[in-house]
Structure 1
């Protein structure tokens, strides 16, 4: 029987497991929070050209994958991808982007608590005040530095679908999960 003294080290397997856990915890701490990017482009023709090019590239890729070894189909797929990428570059140049990042859970919960629903809104099932919370969240989640007043201006001044897209970009990233439960 081996006797351990207070100065003796734990078995190497315990040290190895602790080191592995420590490394894993370091990686978990360094995970980047999810981000979501909203494209804003007023050039309807360019957006439609990109959608058409994306659809053509998808079709060409489907044909090429369904016919392995068909060189013309593979070439057509590559050409369609190139055409789509060229139009995407034009679309990117004609677009503005707003980027939103998921807030840490306690920060989001605090923000929600700062915008409680009215009695009627709570009766309707709201967990926050839909009149004040959206601009606060858009501003808080903005990577670009948008202020609450600027968020409010955009939410109030844009068309309903565009304002909803702005809200969705900031809200959906708060709901994004990158973990899954599974069998080991």
Structure 2
């Protein structure tokens, strides 16, 4: 005697797991790609003033943490934080910012493929052409709309440390990871 076939219903826990996964996947899809900003400021006095104000603020917080309840130390923290914020506002006003965003992996890989290393560069282990790829990446990663020609102009016209900082801003954001493998 055979038994009638029973339709299989998902268990309530399976449905809940699917709903949880669906919500998680939606959040993962909506994650913004990482970005960073490169500050360009030619006023060394403002940069130094901010760095000094930041150091004073850090030291005053250290003293206040070492002396809980010390009203003078707490006032010094508030004053140092206000001075740091004022120095930062002045520095921000005198700065230009260039913003770079991580490219989706396939886009970055295609861009690298469009700039293959020369034979000599490949022999040295390069994965891209160091003469053509930097400007292409800076332009592609620029949130501000910098063209390849403009990127090339800056990379070739700026001092070596400044050009390296421009390249680093565009390249390092491509390498930034916001996930971590850990014990569950």
TM range (shorter): over 0.9
TM-score by length of 1: 0.95
TM-score by length of 2: 0.95
Tell me how far apart the structure 1 counterparts of residues 6 and 165 of structure 2 sit (CA, whole Å).
64
Alignment match, 2:33: 33
Aligned pairs for 1:89-100 within 5 A: 89-100=89-100
What CA RMSD, in Å, does the superposition of the two structures yield over aligned residues? Answer: 1.5
Alignment match, 1:45: 45
- Note the residue ranges of structure 2 that are not aligned, 5 or more in a row: none
Tell me how far apart the structure 1 counterparts of residues 7 and 39 of structure 2 sit (CA, whole Å).
65
Alignment match, 2:7: 5
Q: CA deviation at 1:51?
A: 0.6
Tell me how far apart the structure 2 counterparts of residues 174 and 67 of structure 1 sit (CA, whole Å).
43
SS at match of 1:68: coil
Cα-to-partner distance string for 1:5-48 (whole Å, 9 max, x where unaligned)? 26xx4221111000000000000000000001000001111111
Runs of 4+ deviating beyond 6 Å: none
Cα-to-partner distance string for 1:125-183 (whole Å, 9 max, x where unaligned)? 11100000000000000000000000000000000000000000000000000000111
